Amino acid sequence: MGVFQTFLNGIITGYESLMNSLPDKYASLLNVFIFAILISFYAIFTWKFYRYLSKKDLISLNLNRYNRTKHPFLNKFLAVIFYFVEYIIILPIWIFIWFAVLSLLILTLSETTQSLNSIIILSAAMVGAIRILSYYEEDLSKDLAKIFPFSLLTLFLLNPQFFSLDRVIRQLGMIPELFSEIIYFLILIVSLELILRMIDLLINLGNKGSTDLLKDEETIQE
């Protein structure tokens, strides 16, 4: 952590020296260029974020294609194992990575008075809501995943302290503390995805049972 903070302090010192050596109009242009890059990066992330995280099946590894056993029991057993690995282990970790990056971006853009806890809770609640809605209606989930980050960016841009690179760099100094806190939310993400998958599986089984019953009734009537 000390090395990282020293590195950031070096960046601040170099930035301040550069800004002091430039005329005011050129210093302002440099600031505009730097923040244009930051805003562009945020917009690119948001575009990727809403397109991927709003899908119910966020990944499509289809690990079950490696299940080539002929034995009926072993085939079903391996199918369950592959399903568990893909959707209960790999998928939550992938969602957690998106959550971590979102938290990092909000931390970078937020005010220095914003607590880490509130940033993490905001990010976790948003990611959780997007995942829940993805099982209900992907279009609704996509709208939320798209509108929220851009609305948040608008609020940050209206803050007069936003265009301060010193503030951004000092916020980046909280990254080690941020990652030490958000790791606990991995358990929450795994639990949420497990519950959603179980509910979705039960609903699909119920719908399949109803469909089979209707087909049987139609066959009897014929």
Res 64 pLDDT > 80: no
Q: How far apart are the first and last CA of the chain?
A: 75
Q: Is the pLDDT of residue 73 over 70?
A: no
Please state the pTM of the whole predicted model. 0.73
Nearest to 156 by CA among 77, 145, 164, 7: 164
Highest mean pLDDT pick, 8-12, 141-145, 162-166: 141-145
Model pLDDT, residue 61: 56
Provide the 8-state DSSP code for 158: T
CA distances from 211 to 66, 136, 204, 208, 218 (A): 29, 20, 10, 5, 11
**In the chain, pLDDT over 70 holds for what percent of residues?**
79
Say what the pLDDT of residue 214 is. 47
- Can you give the pLDDT at residue 56? 81
Q: Quote the strand ranges of 126-196, DSSP E.
A: none
pLDDT greater than 80 at residue 68: no
Q: How far apart are CA 222 and CA 218, in angstroms?
A: 6
Domain extent listing, the chain: 2-221
Question: What digits encode the pLDDT tens for the residues 76-101?
Answer: 667 777 777 777 778 788 888 888 88
Residue range 116-139: average pLDDT? Answer: 88
